Amino acid sequence: MTRHAVKFLVLWAVLTAAFEAFALVDFYPTVGAPEAEDSDGIFRLLLFMGLPVFAFVVAALCYSMYAFRAKTAPAGNDGGPTMRGTGAAPRVWLAITGGLALLVMIHPGLTGLAALQADDDGYGWGDPDGELIVNVKAFRFSWEMEYEGTGVTVNSAVGQELVLPVDREVTFRVDSIDVIHSFWIPAFRLKIDAIPGRTTFFSVEPSRVGDYDDDSAYRVQCAELCGVDHTLMRFPVRVVEQDEFEAWLASLAGEAN
């Protein structure tokens, strides 16, 4: 093995270790549901698998620019000798990166999608008839939420909030009355498009009490560019205990009557 190869491998190992150590830093938003924990786990797995490949490319570029830099400009238009990938190294690299690509397509690609679409656990896109159904109507530039069967409707345009019970399955049925929007709650990670003329849905089970005043991850946010006030299209979310949720719902139901 040449000295260049040894130096390059050392640089690659150092960069890989540094990138992987940085990836261990917990910079993720609040985990407010099992679905969020699953999403973060998938993201971390893809990150850890991809960083050595990224480090290899960075190491190759940096080492090549340093070790093989020219002290003088080449004469005429001659850019130097052509370099061709030959031998076992390119084949091994292709096999490794191709194998990684195939692996991520299977897991967490197909396996993760199957979990989100599963009918038995009632989360993701699996169960359109969750225990608590919230009908969501998106319009520029606000949200309206109706708690099905209760007569209670809340609207972000008048300063209200979306209140949800902890440890209880909630299904959001999402519509739009004008353009395409996207319904997203960062603490839950899951999001889905609001499409005119079509009802989309997903289910989630909040697992942690929290509210927008203390944690900005508890908000409904439009994640699809929909117009000039797109960034203002958000709705505070508050996750509370079941008793508190029932009391809040009863108070608004009384006002509606």
At residue 90, the pLDDT reads 81
* Count: domains in the chain: 2
Place of tokens 């967490």: 108
Instruction: Quick: pLDDT tens for 219-229.
Output: 999 999 999 99
**Are 99 and 169 contained in the same domain?**
no
**Are 222 and 168 contained in the same domain?**
yes
**Are 201 and 111 contained in the same domain?**
no
At residue 81, the pLDDT reads 65
**Are 109 and 19 contained in the same domain?**
yes
Residue 143 is part of a domain; what is its CATH number?
2.60.40.420
The parts of the chain modelled with pLDDT lower than 50 are 119-129
- Contact (CB, 8 A) for 101 and 138: no
At residue 119, the pLDDT reads 47
Handedness of CA 98, 99, 105, 108 (dihedral sign): negative
Question: What is the Cα–Cα distance from 252 to 142, expressed in whole angstroms?
Answer: 20
**Are 159 and 100 contained in the same domain?**
no
**Are 15 and 55 contained in the same domain?**
yes
* Domain end residue (candidates: 81, 116, 151): 116
**Are 232 and 141 contained in the same domain?**
yes
In a domain, 72, yes or no: no
**Are 47 and 97 contained in the same domain?**
yes
Q: What is the pTM of this model?
A: 0.78
Q: In what order do the strands lie in the sheet with 200-204?
A: 152-155, 142-147, 132-139, 170-176, 200-204
CA-based nearest residue to 164, from 236, 255, 253, 251: 236
At residue 79, the pLDDT reads 61
**Are 48 and 139 contained in the same domain?**
no
Question: What is the Cα–Cα distance from 233 to 60, expressed in whole angstroms?
Answer: 44
In a domain, 75, yes or no: no
Range of the domain at 201: 132-256
At residue 5, the pLDDT reads 86
**Are 39 and 146 contained in the same domain?**
no
In a domain, 76, yes or no: no
At residue 257, the pLDDT reads 62
At residue 188, the pLDDT reads 95
In a domain, 74, yes or no: no
In a domain, 84, yes or no: no
**Are 143 and 214 contained in the same domain?**
yes
**Are 36 and 63 contained in the same domain?**
yes
In a domain, 126, yes or no: no
In a domain, 39, yes or no: yes
At residue 32, the pLDDT reads 96
